Chain A
Amino acid sequence: MAHAIAFYTLAAFILGFAILVVTTKDTVHSVLFLVLDFLFVAALYVMLNAPFLAVIQVLVYAGGIVVLYLFVVMLVNLKRPPEAHSDPHRMTKFGFGLAGAVLIELGAIVVSGYMKAPAVTSPAQNLPVSGNTEQVGWLLYTNYLIPFEIASMLLLVAMIGAIVLAKREL
């Protein structure tokens, strides 16, 4: 029961802040709403027994990426409102409609899946370590070592690319 209450509360906050992020006019406000949204998502992770992911969510997203957004928003001091010019060719309504259609489809799928029997809870795979963080780390450094290295390489490349792009004169 408490679980349900917590879920619905968090879901409401998440969706609400997401809608605010999308709809707010002021960029800084939407950035703030994004941070809040991430925080609630982190709370959801905690509820899903993934404290490590929750902390990483806060640490990386809220503490790193969004700060980056905030930087950019501050560096980009616009003379005129950012969305002044609107191209006549954009198909906004079609986009809305299509998004709604996809939502309905996904809902149909999910609900039909919900009509079926709930997914079986398979027993936990036996990892030599216990505890969420240890398990994630174990998998990262054993089975998924190569993807991990690739991800690190991707981050390195992204860092260099960001420097090259943002620096005025190299």
Chain B
Amino acid sequence: MKYIWLIPLLPGLGAAINGLLGIRYFSRKASGAIACTMMLAALGLSLVAFWQMLGLPADARGVDVVVAQWIPSIPLATSNGQVGMFGVPWGYRLDPLSGMMILVVTGIGTLIHVYSTAYMADEPRGGVARFFCYLNLFCFFMLNLVLGDNFLVMFVGWEGVGLCSYLLIGYWYEKKSASDAGKKAFITNRIGDWGFVLGVFLIYSTFGTLDFRAVQNAAATMPVEAMHFGVLSFICLFLFVGATGKSAQIPLFVWLPDAMEGPTPVSALIHAATMVTAGVYMLGRNAVLFSHAPYVMTIVAIVGVLTALMAATIGLVQYDIKRVLAYSTVSQLGYMFTAMGVGAFSAGAFHLMTHAFFKALLFLGSGSVIHAMGGEQDMRKMGGLKKYLPVTFATMMVGTLAISGIIPLSGFFSKDEILFQAFVHNKVVWVVAVITAAMTAFYMWRLMSMTFFGGYNGPAWETSSHAAVATAAAHHVPHPADPHAHGQAHKDDHEVSHGPADTHGHDDHGGGHGHGPWHGPHESPTPMTFPLMALAVGAIVAGLVGVPIAMGGSNAIEKFLEPSFTASESAVAGEGAAKGAEASAEAASAEHEAEPHVSVNVERGLMLFSLFVAICGIAVAHKFYVKNPEISDGLAEQWAGAHKVLSNKYYVDEAYDATVISGTFAAGKGLWTVDRNVVDGVVNGSGWITIISAWFSGLTDRTVVDGLVNLVGRICEEGSFWFRKIQTGLVQNYALLMLFGVFAFVSIYLFMR
């Protein structure tokens, strides 16, 4: 347990090895093997550490390990007058929350590494090494993020994962859309990071330290800002801005769907399981702060639920399989934020974990499907794949049911917990959440049915070598069923890819034979199916740790995660302030106080209701897309406007283009004009002044100084003109002068004697 600093270090080591040596020297298998080994070791270490932590008493489950003194103590003033020493240790903190997180990161990370070894098998050698280098690097930063015991270490991880996501989204950098998506993600994250950094500054200037524990203890003693919008609220608001950036909430969610340009394992690991949940983790980490800022809590809840609803509605009409999953991710994150917003931190974290499992499972499954379809991502080109890839079908079915909230799969418990808490706190939020849940079930089932059920209506395949051309031709044949959807198909295609024929070139999903002719849908190799099954098991059982009391279970995860969300009692006792103690108690167990108000029956009823809603969604989707698909097309024509709006994602991108980006350009132009007119004007003016003054000083130089110099020279010249008459150049005249000297001396002698 003293060696938890090894957990982040190992992936970093792998990244270093792969990056410095691998890109040049290693083979595909070697680099993959190194990366997987490192992750496996990290996983083992984190399991050991977690086990040791479980052995500790519940209130002592917080272990700080300081690796080194990062920033030595610098005197730095804080807001309340006195000067705090700004010293930051490079410290790691293992407590229930971070323990869960490292388990999630290392576990899922390991599986996805294994998956990637097969998925990326057809990349160029250096590319594979680069990919695994980035992936390991991401794990390194992510583990730093979740293990860091102060805001600065966390911020390092925060930025690092942003960087890695940028690198991995732009992995196929020859592809303009990929590099653009990478840039979009990066810039959008910067906006969020700006908020996060402001929050960190404000925290230091308020508390004089950056250590989580210290900040929490200090904040626990402060009054709850229920009436006014105080400094804690501002801190939380800034932090929440950062969270929206990283976790793709309104208004910064636009980068996540485009991030699907990256390889599917990347989407699974970064953009579904781990990185995007960093925001949620951060909120949970600062639960005490947030619980002291009710307004911000409300804002968080509203933003979260709205995000969930909007993303779900968009997800209803998408045809790209990965985009559907992306929007579902956004909406699930919205769920988590809702949970945080309503104070159910443990529920949010719980959902985070379960979601990590089944969403990673779904992404990997979709990756398997795309792999099977030879790069095809348009669901209308699929269908009836059940008989081709049974394992993928089974596992993805598990995932779908889990995310839809079907008992007893994991999603049910976590989502139901969130809904219950929402119901307790805010009925409106609850209603919206429920609708969202129904939509979730609907579009997930729609995905499943369009992909696996029905008849195969993808491109024809042959064993001939020129099949690729044929498939390309077949791809562009209008679909007889819905000419209207075809246009959108084209639109979607424009956003992502143009089907197998030319996806072969850049987005190499061709599986084991990406460069040869495509031989039709087929099951993926074992390294890809094994993670699927493992994750499926996880998706099934992960919920059991959070079986609510209402169902006779003991909500273990809550009790387990409790200490992370409350200030340490020791600090509070040391504080000794009754008000602080009371506040911390209230903050610590908001839902516990709320619980007595609703009876267990109500809770059970809510469970049944949500279950019913989910099943309704599934049924409707089944009716629409499996029984008689024309209904969906009819609906699409009927609600053409809404459909168009939805499939264009509420024109958010366009709106941003119109407002933010063009505004930025305009501002830049204005600043440029100011620069050219004012700044350059000042510079040129000073230049002119210099020139004029130089002219004057030159005038004085010429007249006065040179005048003196010339005067001296003239005097010498005139004097020499007369004196040189002596210099006749005749030796005898000089001798004559000598004789004159003799004469002079002798006469002096004569007259002196």
- Contact digits for A83-96, partner B, Cβ 8 Å, 1 yes 0 no: 00001011100110
Q: Which listed residue, A87, A89, A94, A102, touches B742 by the CB 8 Å rule?
A: A102
For the A-B complex, the count of residue pairs with Cβ-Cβ distances under 8 Å equals 35
Known: A90-B732, A94-B736, A95-B732. A101 touches B750 (CB 8 A): no
Q: Which residues of A contact B730 (CB under 8 A)?
A: 87, 89-90
The answer to whether B733 and A105 have CB atoms under 8 Å apart is no
Interface of A is mostly: helix
In the bound complex, what is the Cα–Cα distance between A99 and B739 (angstroms)? 8
Judge whether A145 is part of the interface by a CB distance below 8 angstroms.
no
Q: Which listed residue, A91, A98, A109, touches B750 by the CB 8 Å rule?
A: A109
Q: Which residues of B contact A105 (CB under 8 A)?
A: 743, 746-747, 750
Within the complex, what minimum Cβ distance (angstroms) separates A41 from chain B?
A: 22
- Contact digits for B665-683, partner A, Cβ 8 Å, 1 yes 0 no: 0000000000000000000
Q: Which residues of A contact B728 (CB under 8 A)?
A: 87, 89-90
**Would you list which residues of chain A between 90 and 134 have a CB under 8 Å from chain B?**
90-91, 94-95, 98-99, 101-102, 105-106, 108-109
Judge whether B723 is part of the interface by a CB distance below 8 angstroms.
no
Chain A's closest residue to B728 (CB) is: A89
In the bound complex, what is the Cα–Cα distance between A95 and B730 (angstroms)? 13
The answer to whether A98 and B746 have CB atoms under 8 Å apart is no
In the bound complex, what is the Cα–Cα distance between A108 and B747 (angstroms)? 10
Q: Which residues of B contact A109 (CB under 8 A)?
A: 746, 749-750
**Would you list which residues of chain B between 255 and 311 have a CB under 8 Å from chain A?**
none
- Contact digits for B730-753, partner A, Cβ 8 Å, 1 yes 0 no: 101100100110110011011000
**Would you list which residues of chain B between 553 and 588 have a CB under 8 Å from chain A?**
none
The answer to whether A91 and B739 have CB atoms under 8 Å apart is no
Q: Which listed residue, A89, A90, A98, touches B740 by the CB 8 Å rule?
A: A98
- Known contacts A89-B730, A95-B739; 14 additional CB pairs below 8 A are A87-B728, A87-B730, A89-B729, A90-B728, A90-B730, A95-B736, A98-B736, A98-B739, A98-B740, A99-B739, A101-B743, A102-B739, A102-B746, A105-B743
The answer to whether A108 and B736 have CB atoms under 8 Å apart is no
Q: Which residues of A contact B749 (CB under 8 A)?
A: 109
B residues apposed to A, CB below 8 Å: 728-730, 732-733, 736, 739-740, 742-743, 746-747, 749-750
In the bound complex, what is the Cα–Cα distance between A105 and B740 (angstroms)? 12
Q: Which residues of A contact B729 (CB under 8 A)?
A: 89
Q: Which residues of B contact A106 (CB under 8 A)?
A: 746
Q: Can you give 24 contacting A-B residue pairs, CB < 8 Å?
A: A87-B730, A89-B728, A89-B729, A89-B733, A90-B728, A90-B730, A90-B732, A94-B736, A95-B732, A95-B736, A95-B739, A98-B736, A98-B739, A98-B743, A101-B743, A102-B739, A102-B742, A102-B743, A105-B743, A105-B746, A105-B747, A105-B750, A108-B750, A109-B750
Listed from nearest, the 3 A-B pairs whose CB atoms lie closest are A89-B728, A105-B746, A102-B743
Within the complex, what minimum Cβ distance (angstroms) separates B529 from chain A?
A: 103
Q: Which residues of A contact B747 (CB under 8 A)?
A: 105
Q: Which listed residue, A90, A99, A101, A102, touches B733 by the CB 8 Å rule?
A: A90
Chain B's closest residue to A94 (CB) is: B736
Within the complex, what minimum Cβ distance (angstroms) separates A103 from chain B?
A: 10
Chain B's closest residue to A99 (CB) is: B739
In the bound complex, what is the Cα–Cα distance between A98 and B746 (angstroms)? 12
In the bound complex, what is the Cα–Cα distance between A87 and B729 (angstroms)? 10
Q: Which residues of B contact A91 (CB under 8 A)?
A: 733, 736
Within the complex, what minimum Cβ distance (angstroms) separates A115 from chain B?
A: 13
In the bound complex, what is the Cα–Cα distance between A105 and B752 (angstroms)? 13
In the bound complex, what is the Cα–Cα distance between A94 and B512 (angstroms)? 122
In the bound complex, what is the Cα–Cα distance between A108 and B749 (angstroms)? 11
Q: Which residues of B contact A90 (CB under 8 A)?
A: 728, 730, 732-733
In the bound complex, what is the Cα–Cα distance between A98 and B739 (angstroms)? 7
In the bound complex, what is the Cα–Cα distance between A22 and B736 (angstroms)? 17
In the bound complex, what is the Cα–Cα distance between A89 and B143 (angstroms)? 106
In the bound complex, what is the Cα–Cα distance between A98 and B743 (angstroms)? 7
In the bound complex, what is the Cα–Cα distance between A108 and B732 (angstroms)? 26
Q: Which residues of A contact B736 (CB under 8 A)?
A: 91, 94-95, 98
Q: Which residues of B contact A99 (CB under 8 A)?
A: 739
In the bound complex, what is the Cα–Cα distance between A89 and B728 (angstroms)? 7
Chain A's closest residue to B742 (CB) is: A102
Chain B's closest residue to A89 (CB) is: B728
In the bound complex, what is the Cα–Cα distance between A91 and B740 (angstroms)? 13
Chain B's closest residue to A88 (CB) is: B728
Q: Which residues of A contact B750 (CB under 8 A)?
A: 105, 108-109
Q: Which residues of B contact A101 (CB under 8 A)?
A: 743
Within the complex, what minimum Cβ distance (angstroms) separates A161 from chain B?
A: 19
In the bound complex, what is the Cα–Cα distance between A94 and B750 (angstroms)? 21
Q: Which residues of A contact B746 (CB under 8 A)?
A: 102, 105-106, 109
In the bound complex, what is the Cα–Cα distance between A101 and B750 (angstroms)? 13
In the bound complex, what is the Cα–Cα distance between A99 and B743 (angstroms)? 8
Within the complex, what minimum Cβ distance (angstroms) separates B740 from chain A?
A: 6
In the bound complex, what is the Cα–Cα distance between A72 and B740 (angstroms)? 31
Within the complex, what minimum Cβ distance (angstroms) separates B383 from chain A?
A: 111
Q: Which residues of B contact A89 (CB under 8 A)?
A: 728-730, 733
